Amino acid sequence: MPAPDHPASPARLSLAVLLISLFFAAPVAAQEAVADMADRLKACAACHGDEGRTVGDTYYPSIAGKPARYLYAQLENFRDGRRQHTVMAAMLRTLSDRYLGEIARYYAAQPHAKQPVFEGATPEQLAIGERLTVAGDASRNIPPCMDCHGEALTGVQPSIPGLRGLPTRYLDAQISAWKQGQRRAATPDCMGKIARSLTAAEITAISAWLASRPYAEDAKPADSLPGELPIDCGGVLP
């Protein structure tokens, strides 16, 4: 049996082919991959782990295997001040769009992290979290998370991120940042609209429920949305 991280394993190869072919459709220019990316990006590994995988009790999100267009948009947002993080902004300040594209492409091609499930959620939180995630709340114009983030909540290519395999603290902080206007996406900013409709307790419950669900090792972003987008999103490319 080949070692899981063997660079020439058939699964890896087909994944690479798939991603490369996806990239031809993506706005991030597809060119021959830049060699040596792990060494170039040691600065990122300090927080996001080797090949972009963080596991366990940490704030820093695992970025391996997230959709490339999503990663690219976040890098751009940090660099250009739409997302606030002092270290990220300082790191990216003098990097070109082209390099950001290469960085996004590199992390998107890495297998995602295997996360332990979060066990600190209360039954009440789990109930609220599950209800809002699966069914939403039509009376408050909150669509179910799955309508956009994929039925398995593993994200949708090329620009919608998965919600699985992320630290609960990170999820909570991000949705809260959207609610408070500290994190923004391209207008119309659908996540901002949804987050502003949620209470702080609901955001914590959703984060806890998402992090409590087991996360399949071979989970990947879905190729297409389950249906029509329930809300206008400027950050989502067709």
Partner 1 sequence: MKKRRVLVMGSAILLAFLFSIWLNQPDLDLDPIAPANLASATTEQVRAGEYLVRAGNCAGCHSASGGAPFAGGKAIETPFGAVYSSNLTPHDDTGLGRWTDADFYRAMRHGRSKDDRWLSPTFPYTSYTNLTRADSDAMFAWLRALPPVDQAQPPPTLRPPYELQIATRVWRALYFRPAKDADIAAMDRGQYLVEGLGHCAACHTARGALGGPRSANAWMGGEIIGLGWDALPLAGIVDTGDFSDLELASLLKTGVNSRQAVSGPMAEVVFHSLQHLKDDDIAAIVSYLRRLPKAEAPAAPKVPQVSADERAALRKRGAVVYGEHCADCHGDDGEGQIRKYPALAGSRLVTAASATNALRLTLDGGFPPSTDGNPFPYGMPPFSHQLSRPDIAAVLTYIRSEWGNDAPAVSVVEVERR
Task: Pick the binder of partner 1 from 56, 81, 120, 123 (CB under 8 A).
Answer: 81
Residues 6+ apart with CB under 8 A from 171: 163, 206, 207, 210, 211
- The residue (of 51 and 202) whose beta carbon lies closer to partner 1 is 51
170 binds partner 1 (CB under 8 A): no
| 41 binds partner 1 per the rule CB under 8 A | yes
Distance CA 53, CA 109 (A): 12
Residues near 22 by beta carbon (within 8 Å), at least 6 away in sequence: 68, 157, 158
In the set 94, 119, 139, 238, which binds partner 1 (CB under 8 A)? 94
Residue 80, burial from CB neighbour count under 10 angstroms (0-12, 13-18, 19+)? exposed
Mark the segment that binds partner 1 (CB under 8 A) among 49-57, 79-87, 108-116, 148-156.
79-87
Contact 166, 210 (CB under 8 A): yes
Number of residues that bind partner 1 (CB under 8 A): 27
Examine residue 188 and say whether the peptide bond preceding it is cis (omega within 30 degrees of 0).
yes
Start-end of H helices in 120-216: 123-130, 146-149, 168-179, 190-197, 200-212
Helix axes 168-179, 200-212, angle to 10 degrees: 150
Check residue 44 for interaction with partner 1 (CB under 8 A).
yes
Measured from the CB atom, is 11 or 29 closer to partner 1? 29
- By CB under 8 A, name the one of 11, 13, 90, 134 that touches partner 1: 90
Binding mask 46-75 vs partner 1 (x if CB under 8 A, - otherwise)? xx----------------------------
Shortest Å, Cβ 212 to partner 1: 27
* Residue 84 vs 197, nearer CB to partner 1: 84
State the residues that interact with partner 1 by CB under 8 A: 34, 37, 39-47, 79-82, 87, 89-96, 98-99, 102
